[in-house]
Structure 1
C-alpha cells in the first residue's frame, strides 16, 4: 500500500506542474465612440476595437 500511495502522490505532483496556468496577455483597445484607448486583458465590450498587443504588463508599453 505504501508504494501505491507514493506513486499516487508523485503523479499528483507531476499533474500539478503541467496544469499551471499563465495570466492572459494585455491588449490595447480603442473606443469607437470617443477614440480613447484602454489597456485590458479582455475586450471591454461591443463599443471597443482591438488596437495593439499582446503586451506583458498593464501599461500596454512592453511587448
Structure 2
C-alpha cells in the first residue's frame, strides 16, 4: 500500500513530454508530435513546449 502511494506521488510530479517537429521523407510535409510517427519521418526541430511547435524549450523547466 505504501509503495503504491509513493509510486503514484512520483508520477504526479512528472513533467509532460516535449514536442518535436517532424518532416516526411516522402513529400516534405511537416507536423508537430511528441512521439516518432514512423520510419518515413525525420526529426527536424525541437524540443518545444507546445503542440504547435512554437515555444522552444522543455516543458516543466
- List alignment gaps of at least 5 residues for structure 1: 1-7
Scaled by the length of structure 1, the TM-score of the pair is 0.71
Structure number with greater CO (CA < 8 Å, separation at least 6) is 2
Moved runs in structure 1, 4+ residues, more than 6 A?
none
Aligned positions of 1:1-63 closer than 5 A: 16=9, 19=10, 20-63=13-56
- List alignment gaps of at least 5 residues for structure 2: 57-61
* Aligned-CA RMSD value: 1.7
Q: What CA distance in whole angstroms lies between the structure 2 residues aligned with 1:48 and 1:23?
A: 22
Scaled by the length of structure 2, the TM-score of the pair is 0.73
